[in-house]
Amino acid sequence: MGVGERRRHAGAFGTAAAAYAEHRPGYARDAVRWALEPALGPRVLDLGAGTGKLTAALVEEGADVVADVPDPAMLEQLRSAVPGVRALAGSAETVPLPDASVDVVVAGNALHWFDPSTAGPELARVLVPGGVLAGLWNVVDDRVDWVADLVRVGGGEVFGRRDALSTWRPACTAHLPVTGFGRPDHLEVPHGQRRTAESLVATLATRAGVLVLPPDERAVLLGRLRAQLASRPETAVGGFDLPMLTCVLRTRRT
């Protein structure tokens, strides 16, 4: 995906900010704790914080959080969900913070939207020496048959390589900055979400690849997802657990 296309996809979330806040899952707490574990201090920048899903967990862990949100609609949702947190309208390429001002930079389902060639030096600038950079992603467990079938039906518009357990690690590692940072560690923490067929479709409708589709194509795609869920005994009637994991890549500023 080129820079222009990446920006178009990333910018689509603001059109569905309320739905994103309602339907997207939070993050496994053990994964959040592991991301913060090597921190030299409590100051955390939540980069591309969206509606505050990760921000809320960081606050609950006692972090002193600054949230960086480029989209005004997402920023409004975050301020409602996590009142009192310092929230800034910035970007990964231009972080509105001084040099060496944070101990940790985290990004929840967001690191892949940044250009590592320009964001990397900026993140190194705001981190203290030895500071931590951690990316967290909620991925579906495609070792489960019905989940693998849903990934196949959804295709690239719904599920990129970073969205499934079988492919997340190489896909996400490619988005880590290299210069100025060490070799990353990784962790996978089980993390389910209780869904119905309709609420799962509503969740998947907030994916960037779906949001940028023309309305008629979006309706067809969501219809295919509903039909697939209706065809499986695990998901056809009532509530079910969506098997997921929160996956983390963690590195240090050298």
Residue matched to tokens 């997921």: 244
Task: Give, as one character, the DSSP assignment of residue 14.
Answer: G
d(CA 207, CA 212): 9
Look at strands 185-190 and 244-252 and give their pairing. Answer: antiparallel
Can you give the residue range of the structural domain that contains 30?
Answer: 3-252
Name the 3-class secondary structure at 60: helix
Which structure tokens are listed for 118?
């320009």
In CATH, what number is assigned to the domain containing residue 183? 3.40.50.150
Tell me the per-residue pLDDT of 134-184, one tens digit each, with 9 for 90 and over: 999 999 999 999 999 999 999 999 999 999 999 999 999 999 998 899 999
Tell me the per-residue pLDDT of 27-58, one tens digit each, with 9 for 90 and over: 999 999 999 999 999 999 999 999 999 999 99
d(CA 98, CA 112): 24
- Asked if 67 and 95 count as a contact pair (C-beta separation under 8 A), the reply is no
Instruction: Count Cβ atoms within 10 A of the Cβ of residue 115 and give its class: 0-12 exposed, 13-18 middle, 19 or more buried.
Output: middle
- Please list, residue by residue across 34-70, b when 16 or more beta carbons sit within 10 angstroms of its beta carbon and e when fewer do: bbbebbeeebbbbbbbbbbbbbbbbbeeebebbbbbb
84 forms beta bridges with none
Helices (DSSP H) in 11-131: which residue ranges? 17-23, 29-36, 53-60, 72-81, 116-126
Percentage of the chain lying above the pLDDT 90 cut: 87
User: Over the chain, what is the mean pLDDT?
Assistant: 94
Total domains present in the chain: 1
pLDDT of amino acid 196: 97
Look at strands 244-252 and 127-140 and give their pairing. Answer: antiparallel
